[in-house]
Amino acid sequence: MKQMVILSGKGGTGKTTVAAAFAHLASQELAIVMADADVDAANLELVLDPVRQEEHDFAGGKVAVIAGTKCTACGTCHQVCRFEAVIPGDEAYRVDSSACEGCAACTYRCPVEAIQMVEQRDGQWFRSDTRFGPLFHACLHAGRENSGKLVTLVKQQARLLAQDTGATLLLVDGPPGIGCPVISACAGMDLALHVVEPTLSGIHDLERVMATTDHFGVPSLVAINKADLNRARADEIAAFCASREVELVSCVPYDNVVTRAMVQGQPVTAYGDGPVTAALRDTWARVRKRLFSDDVGPREGGRPW
Amino acid sequence: MIVTVASGKGGTGKTTVAVNLALSLAARGGNPAAPLLLDCDVEEPNAALFLKLAIEDRRDVGQMVPEIDLARCTYCGRCAEVCQYHAIAVVGKRVLVFPELCHACGSCALNCPTGAIHEVLNVMGVLERGWAGPVEFAQGTMNVGEPMAAPIIRQLKRWTIPSDRGDRPIILDASPGTACPVVEAMRGADAALMVTEPTPFGLHDLRLAVEVARDELGLPVGVVINRDGVGDRGVETYCAAEGIPILMRIPLDRRIAEAYSEGIPLVEAYPTYRERFVGLWKRLEQLVHRQGGHCGQERKR
pLDDT at B291: 82
| Ramachandran quadrant class, B147 (left: phi over 0; alpha: psi -120 to 50; beta: rest) | alpha
Successive 10-residue mean pLDDT values, chain B, 301 residues: 97 98 92 93 98 97 96 97 96 94 96 97 97 97 95 96 91 96 96 98 97 95 97 97 98 95 97 97 96 50 32
> What is the crossing angle of helices A200-215 and A231-243, to 10°?
20
Q: Which of A102, A144, A262 sits opposite B84 (nearest CB)?
A: A102
Test the A interface: residue of B124, B180, B266 with most A CBs within 10 Å: B180
Q: pLDDT per residue over A93-104, tens digit each?
A: 999 988 899 999
**In this predicted structure, what is the pLDDT of residue A294?**
60
- Does CATH place domain B63-123 in 3.30.70.20? yes
Confidence of residue A297 (pLDDT cuts 50, 70, 90): very low
Q: Are A215 and A47 in contact (CB under 8 A)?
A: no
- Whether domain B2-52+133-290 has CATH 3.90.1010.10: the reply is no
Asked if the model's pLDDT at residue A164 lies above 90, the reply is yes
The answer to whether B43 contacts A198, with C-beta atoms less than 8 Å apart, is no
Distance between B89 CA and the closest CA of chain A, angstroms: 16
List the single residue in B205, B216, B263 with the smallest CB-CB distance to A143: B216
* Pairing of β A32-36 and β A133-140: parallel
Helix B273-290 crosses helix B14-26 at what angle (to 10 degrees)? 100
Considering only residues 222 to 281 of chain A, which have any Cβ-Cβ distance to chain B shorter than 8 Å?
Answer: 226, 229-230, 233, 254, 256, 259, 262-263, 265
The A residues from 162 to 201 touching B (CB cutoff 8 Å) are: 175-183, 197-201
Which DSSP state fits A228?
A: G
Q: Do B232 and A263 touch (CB under 8 A)?
A: yes
Summarize the confidence of residues A211-238 as an average pLDDT: 97
Local confidence band at A302 (pLDDT 50, 70, 90 cut-offs):
very low
Contact B200 A99 (CB under 8 A): no
Which of A8, A18, A36, A40 to mutate: most B Cβ within 10 Å? A40
Domain-wise residue ranges, chain B:
2-52+133-290, 63-123
Which CATH topology does A61-120 take?
Alpha-Beta Plaits (3.30.70)
Is residue A289 within 8 angstroms of chain B, CB to CB?
A: no
Rounded to the nearest integer, the mean pLDDT of chain A is 94
Distance of CA B39 to the CA centre of its chain: 7
Instruction: Identify the pLDDT of residue A46.
Output: 97
Q: What is the mean pLDDT of residues A63-77?
A: 96
Give contacts of A183 with chain B, Cβ < 8 Å. 145, 147
Domain A2-58+123-292, CATH 3.40.50.2000 — does that match? no
pLDDT of residue B32: 81
d(CA B188, CA B139): 18
Task: Identify the residue among A199, A206, A218 best suited for mutation to test binding to B, counting B beta carbons within 10 A and taking the highest.
Answer: A199
User: Side-chain half-sphere of B68: how many Cα atoms within 13 Å?
Assistant: 25
Q: Are B72 and B109 in contact (CB under 8 A)?
A: no
What b-and-e string marks burial along B120-134, b requiring 16 or more CB atoms within 10 Å of the CB? eebebbbbbbbebee
Residue A298 has pLDDT above 60, yes or no: no
On whether any CB of chain B is under 8 Å from the CB of A140, the answer is yes
Distance between first and last Cα of chain B: 23
The secondary element (H helix, E strand) that includes residue B280 is helix B273-290
Chain B residues touching A144 at Cβ < 8 A: 179-180
Task: Give span(s): CATH 3.30.70.20, chain A.
Answer: 61-120
CA B10 to chain A, closest CA, distance in angstroms equals 4
Find the residue in B nearest to A261 (Cα): B231
A176: left (phi over 0), alpha (psi -120 to 50) or beta: beta
- Chain A interface mutation, best of B63, B105, B182, B252, highest count of A Cβ atoms under 10 Å: B105
Q: Are B212 and A180 in contact (CB < 8 Å)? A: no
Residue A207 to chain B, least CA–CA distance (Å): 10
Name A87's Cβ contacts closer than 8 Å, sequence gap at least 6: A93, A94, A95, A96, B298
When pLDDT is averaged across residues A244-261 and rounded to a whole number, the result is 96
Q: What does the pLDDT read at residue A146? A: 75
Whole-number Å distance between alpha carbons of B154 and B78: 29
Percent of chain A exceeding pLDDT 90 equals 90
- Beta pairing partners, B137: B37, B130
Q: Where in chain A is the domain with CATH 3.40.50.300?
A: 2-58+123-292
Determine whether the interchain pair B201/A108 forms a contact, defined as Cβ–Cβ distance below 8 Å. no
Structure confidence at residue A300 (pLDDT):
42
Report whether B196 contacts B12 (CB < 8 A).
Answer: yes
Residues of A in contact with B261 (CB under 8 A): 197-200, 202, 229-230, 233
